[in-house]
Amino acid sequence: MAKNIIPISTVDWYGRAATVVFLMGCPFRCQYCQNHALLAMGKLTAEPADVEEIKSEIEKTSLLVSAVVFTGGEAFRQFDALRNLAGFVHDKGLLVGVETNGYYTDRIRQMIDEQLVDLICMDVKAPLEPGGAPYLRICGIDAASHVSDSLRLAELCREQKIDFEVRTTVFPDFIGSSQEIQSIATSIRDLAGDVRYVIQQGMPEHAWKKISPRPFTRDELLSLAGYATPILSDVRIRTKEFGEERV
């Protein structure tokens, strides 16, 4: 089994069993990165995907799942491999989902135009304030303008019947105050429209660097979601204990 594949997952695409493929490399340096252990020496450096090996693994599980989800790292970093694999997955009659931080807007648009994706899950990691200070603090890079541009692709997704979801992963005293959630939800509405928004429980024990001493509780996440529900109609929380719940 390839080290960069989860053969069957029931949590990465709500309501579906999916194979999950990790593509290495990322322009961000998020302190809470959960996938750092999968990357060489804990660094987010690009390792070329072994496309044929990944295809072989997808082939093995193709009768047991209905979708393949590509994540990372940042899946769009290895764009040629992603497009190749997405076409292969569609040829197998499976759906394609991609998780992205929204940095590579033009590549996301190309995947949409080529009808190579059925679900886009985009992280909005911090408020999209002018000047990008929150993103610089969280991710080590000022990516707010890139993410804003990518959120605008939600309209193109609606036209193409592609599902579009936005996520924010939260940690106490680091990211996820009521003001931050309200700001993020407002930006999502203004840029992407009324799309599905998931507030995710970050797990500090798996973080790349030491941040919060504990995760938010389910009740705390429900309270945070209450700041987004007046702005967006489909707000959900996702916890380790209870999975995904619509608020």
Question: How far apart are alpha carbons 70 and 230 in whole angstroms?
Answer: 32
Taking residues 40-50, report their average pLDDT. Answer: 56
- Mean pLDDT value across the chain: 92
Residues with Cβ within 8 Å of 205's Cβ and at least 6 positions away in sequence, in order, are none
How far apart are alpha carbons 30 and 209 in whole angstroms?
9
Q: Are 75 and 120 in contact (CB under 8 A)?
A: no
Least confident among 32-41, 85-94, 125-134, 189-198: 32-41
Evaluate if residue 137 carries a pLDDT over 70: yes
pLDDT category at 29 given cuts 50, 70, 90 is confident
The architecture CATH gives domain 5-246: Alpha-Beta Barrel (3.20)
Give percent of the chain above pLDDT 90.
Answer: 79
Distance CA 177, CA 188 (A): 16
Q: Do residues 204 and 243 make contact, with C-beta atoms less than 8 angstroms apart?
A: no
Asked if pLDDT for residue 41 goes beyond 90, the answer is no
CA angle 221, 153, 94 (to 5 degrees): 80
pLDDT tier at 111, thresholds 50, 70, 90: very high
pLDDT tens digits, 167-203: 999 999 999 999 999 999 999 999 999 999 999 999 8
Domain boundaries, the chain: 5-246
* pTM > 0.85: yes or no: yes
- Rounded-to-integer distance, Cα 41 and Cα 208, Å: 11
